[in-house]
């Protein structure tokens, strides 16, 4: 039985740039295509971002020395990429996107993580747009709003075309941006970068700050977890699970580690230059000549490359939450909303690194609460999902066990969180000092373990409240999985 209709066109082979109208409905076995290696380029290109470059520079803002930060970045990105790589293997197995697949555990209650995920993608787009807009400002002296419009134009078109256009674009960007950033790396090693970044924290505070940087560095890759299977769901179900895992892991961990270490080598220059820091630092280091122009264009393209992934997944997340709009329309709406949020990053008061740190850590808390639930559900059903029933909203039920576990898991993370927003809130409202950020500030020398607490608590609560899978399990898998 075919799963497509005359009004629900999808790409059928590589380089087929048909506008993808498929949203929640699973990709049928007879509709699958693509080489496994595409997963590597799909995940590598979105990591070549100036936002990752900036995240590496945050080490200077929190007082960590170069070699401590170096270790934190490497460890953080290894740990952050592992869950994404594991979830990516669910795409060929089910033919479904990650948030739509969340309906297996949440049912109609997916409306909560779906909307939160949609807002998260807007936050990422807005954050990334800062660097694309500032690069165009440095290059053309263009106002921020014009730079945002140019980024919006690029990402909206590609995201509206959908899955195959994104894969094709990311493939070419992997090679083009990879070559440009390789040139930037050589330039930084020869004349610009330095390992002379000393620690301003000592003793137990040094260990706590190191752990905080592990979380900050790894949060960029970890935040891809709710996106994972969106970009592997068109692969045949017989695709090697190991290859999907390692290609995803290599693209994310390798790309992010590279970019964050580049940012670390020029951390003080980036932080001290404010909003324009990343673009202006790269412009100066590249000599303000022809290669500097290429670097600014690369930042623009890198911003578009990562934004289209956020825009596309944001559209699937809203659909998973029960918003009945066609995916191309939702993708366009997403890009428009993100335009407004970008202006907050650019124009609102406060240091950019504070805004970014708060954003990244918030993402790790809610994603961990979500992940604890879906992992427990997946283990219980042994990866066997009745995917056909998940695309029909009317057949789903509200699942209060999952929504309770999600909320309580996130809430439990708050006393263990270390954000400047939480610190400022407690300073203004001292009566909340035992509720917001108490543990890292008083017991753990700044170490943030909120994401661990969120995962464990949500998994335990869901496991206790939901004794069997929330949706039905087919009697057996309909395909053979290649290891």
What tens digit of pLDDT does each residue of 378-392 get? 999 888 888 888 888
In 3D space, the residue among 199, 142, 177, 158 whose CA is nearest the CA of residue 52 turns out to be: 177
Structure tokens of 40? 């590597």
CA atoms of 177 and 251, how far apart (whole Å):
13
Residue 15 buriedness (CB in 10 A; 0-12 / 13-18 / 19+): exposed
Element (H, E) at 418: none
Q: Which two tokens stand for residue 145?
A: 């709003």
Decide which of 355 and 173 is more confident. 173
Is 7 contained in some domain?
A: no
Q: Read off the pLDDT of residues 193-217 as tens digits, 9 standing for 90 and up.
A: 777 788 888 889 999 999 999 999 9
294-309 pLDDT, tens per residue?
Answer: 988 998 999 999 989 9
Q: Does any domain span residue 376?
A: no
Question: How does 168-206 read in b/e, with b if 16+ C-beta sit within 10 Å?
Answer: bbbbebbebbbebbeebbebbeeebbeeebebebeeeeb
Predicted confidence (pLDDT) at residue 4 exceeds the cutoff of 60: no
pLDDT band at 343 (very low <50, low <70, confident <90, very high): low
Domain assignment present for residue 238? The answer is yes
More confidently predicted of 11 and 246: 246
In a domain, 236, yes or no: yes
Binned at pLDDT 50, 70 and 90, residue 5 comes out as very low
* Sign of the torsion angle spanned by Cα atoms 475, 102, 80, 259: positive
DSSP string, 39-60: HHHHHHGGG--HHHHHHHHHHH
Percent of the chain with pLDDT over 90: 46
Tokens of 129: 């747009």
d(CA 440, CA 462): 26
pLDDT of residue 1: 35
Predicted TM-score of the model (pTM): 0.89
13 falls within a domain: no
pLDDT tens per residue across span 396-417: 999 999 999 999 999 999 999 9
Mean pLDDT of 145-161: 83
Token pair for residue 142? 């263009």
- Residue 344: CB partners within 8 Å, gap ≥ 6? 126
Position 432 in a domain = no
**How large is the angle between the packed helices 50-62 and 277-285, nearest 10 degrees?**
100
Q: What is the pLDDT of residues 282-294, one digit of tens each?
A: 888 787 788 889 9
Has residue 137 been placed in a domain?
yes
- Check residue 355 and give its pLDDT: 73
- Domain count of the chain? 1
Domain span including residue 208: 29-350
Place of tokens 């543990």: 439
For residue range 42-58, list pLDDT tens digits in order: 999 999 988 888 889 88
What is the CATH classification number for the domain harbouring 54? Answer: 1.10.4160.10
In a domain, 127, yes or no: yes
461 and 405 Cβ atoms separated by less than 8 Å:
yes
Q: Does the pLDDT value for residue 84 go beyond 60?
A: yes
Take residue 86 and report the two structure tokens written for it.
Answer: 């594991």
pLDDT score of 190 more than 90:
no
């Amino acid at each position: 039985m075919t799963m497509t209709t005359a009004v629900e066109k999808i790409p059928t082979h590589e380089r087929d740039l048909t506008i993808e109208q498929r949203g929640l409905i699973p990709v049928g076995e007879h509709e699958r295509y693509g080489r496994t290696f595409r997963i590597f380029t799909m995940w590598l290109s979105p990591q070549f971002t100036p936002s990752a470059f900036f995240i590496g520079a945050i080490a200077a803002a929190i007082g960590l020395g170069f070699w401590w930060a170096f270790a934190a970045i490497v460890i953080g990105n290894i740990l952050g990429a592992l869950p994404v790589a594991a979830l990516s293997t669910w795409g060929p197995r089910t033919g479904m996107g990650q948030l739509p697949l969340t309906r297996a555990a949440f049912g109609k209650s997916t409306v909560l993580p779906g909307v939160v995920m949609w807002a998260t993608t807007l936050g990422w787009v807005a954050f990334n747009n800062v660097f694309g807009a500032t690069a165009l400002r440095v290059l053309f002296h263009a106002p921020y709003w014009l730079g945002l419009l140019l980024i919006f134009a690029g990402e909206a078109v590609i995201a509206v075309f959908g899955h195959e256009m994104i894969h094709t674009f990311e493939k070419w960007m992997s090679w083009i941006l990879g070559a440009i950033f390789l040139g930037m790396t050589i330039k930084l090693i020869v004349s610009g970068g330095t390992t002379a970044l000393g620690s301003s924290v000592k003793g137990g505070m040094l260990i706590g700050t190191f752990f905080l940087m592990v979380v900050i560095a790894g949060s960029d890759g970890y935040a891809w977890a709710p996106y994972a299977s969106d970009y592997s769901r068109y692969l045949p179900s017989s695709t090697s699970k190991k290859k999907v895992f390692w290609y995803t892991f290599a693209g994310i961990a390798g790309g992010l580690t590279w970019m964050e270490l580049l940012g670390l080598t020029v951390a003080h220059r980036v932080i001290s230059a404010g909003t324009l820091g990343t673009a202006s630092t790269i412009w100066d280091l590249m000599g303000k000549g022809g290669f500097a122009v290429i670097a600014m264009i690369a930042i623009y393209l890198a911003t578009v490359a990562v934004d289209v992934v956020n825009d596309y997944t944001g559209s699937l997340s809203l659909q998973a939450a029960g918003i009945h709009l066609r995916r191309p329309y939702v993708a366009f709406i997403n890009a428009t909303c993100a335009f407004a949020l970008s202006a907050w990053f650019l124009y609102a008061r406060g240091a950019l690194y504070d805004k970014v740190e708060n954003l990244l850590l918030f993402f790790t808390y809610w994603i961990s609460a979500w992940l604890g639930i879906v992992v427990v559900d997946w283990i219980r059903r042994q990866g066997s999902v009745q995917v056909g029933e998940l695309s029909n909203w009317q057949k789903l039920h509200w699942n209060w066990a999952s929504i309770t576990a999600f909320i309580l898991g996130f809430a439990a993370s708050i006393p263990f969180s270390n954000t400047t927003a939480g610190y400022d809130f407690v300073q203004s409202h001292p009566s909340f000092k035992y509720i917001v950020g108490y543990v890292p500030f008083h017991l753990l020398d700044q170490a943030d373990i909120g994401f661990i607490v969120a995962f464990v608590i949500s998994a335990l609560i869901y496991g206790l409240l939901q004794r069997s899978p929330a949706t039905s399990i087919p009697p057996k898998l309909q395909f053979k999985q290649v290891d």
